[in-house]
Structure 1
Amino acid sequence: MYELQVENMSCGHCVNAVTKAVQAIDARATVNVDLAQRKVRVQSAAALEKISGAIVEAGYPVTGSSTV
């Protein structure tokens, strides 16, 4: 599982955009977004770099990440 610090998320649209971006990389990924903490937890077989890159491409800066 990965935990990423993601900026500029503020609403349900942001949650959907981030979730779709991750699931475009891994359709089986589980994505949990905490808007208040600006954290995204992802359970995926894909590499952290690919997940992070997809979120950045969707327009949301990733300012930190770790494997949990």
Structure 2
Amino acid sequence: MELRIENMTCGGCARSVTKAIQSVDPDAKIETNPDARTVKIETTASQSALQQILEKAGYPATAS
């Protein structure tokens, strides 16, 4: 799945996003792209679960 995260603008943001996703699925494969403000995720977690945890972390995400 791919999500768009408008306020992920730097490497620090990308690390925070990665940590948030890993708190839901520690085995997720995560590819962040702060320049494009997108994250690609291979996970068993639902999209809604990921969006909820990212919202809590301060990085609201939308499907891209």
TM-score, normalised with respect to structure 1: 0.86
Give aligned pairs, total.
Answer: 64
Aligned-pair identity (%): 36
Per the alignment, residue 46 of structure 1 pairs with: 45
Task: State how 1:1-68 maps to structure 2 within 5 Å.
Answer: 2-62=1-61, 64-65=62-63
TM-score, normalised with respect to structure 2: 0.91
Kindly state the Cα deviation for residue 13 of structure 1 after the two structures are TM-superposed: 1.0
The aligned amino acid for 2:27 is R
Structure 2 runs not aligned, ≥5 long: none
Instruction: Return the structure number with greater relative CO, CA threshold 8 A, min gap 6.
Output: 1
Q: Would you tell me which structure has more strand in proportion to its own residues?
A: 1
Structure 1 runs not aligned, ≥5 long: none
User: Deviations 1:18-65 (Å, cap 9, x if unpaired)?
Assistant: 000000000000111111111111100011100111111110121x21
- For the aligned residues, what is the CA RMSD? 1.1
In structure 2, the residue corresponding to 1:22 is in which secondary structure? helix
Q: Could you list the structure 1 runs, at least 4 aligned residues long, displaced by more than 4 angstroms after superposition.
A: none
